[in-house]
Amino acid sequence: MISYAPFWQTLKSSAETTYSLIVRHHISSSTLDKLRKNKPINTTTVNDLCRILKCSVEDVMVYIPSDDDQLL
């Protein structure tokens, strides 16, 4: 499973807020809700978040093996 816990830590240590992401950077509130619930987001959004927060992908998300992962 992909966890966005690193994103929240990165956001907390940055000058940005959820409000500034929505208003200034046009990140939708539904995208932030997906991040809160560890739901899938697209790589364009990950790229945007990395650009806005001046961070790497690992600062936004991490893979955690889970028994609930989809079988291949």
Q: Does a structural domain hold residue 71?
A: no
CB atoms within 10 A of CB 18: 14
Cα–Cα distance, 10 to 72 (Å, whole number):
32
Is pLDDT at 65 greater than 80 in this prediction? yes
CATH number for the domain spanning 58: value is 1.10.260
Q: Does a structural domain hold residue 59?
A: yes
Q: Does a structural domain hold residue 68?
A: no
Q: Does a structural domain hold residue 70?
A: no
Cα–Cα distance, 23 to 57 (Å, whole number):
23
| Single pTM value for the model | 0.89
Q: Does a structural domain hold residue 43?
A: yes
Span 18-53, pLDDT tens digits: 999 999 999 999 999 999 999 999 999 999 999 999
Is pLDDT at 58 greater than 90 in this prediction? yes
Which residues form the domain of 58?
2-63
CB atoms within 10 A of CB 4: 22
Distances (CA, A) of 53 to 23, 24, 34, 62, 67: 15, 13, 18, 16, 32
Tally of domains within the chain: 1
- 65 near 2, Cβ under 8 Å? no
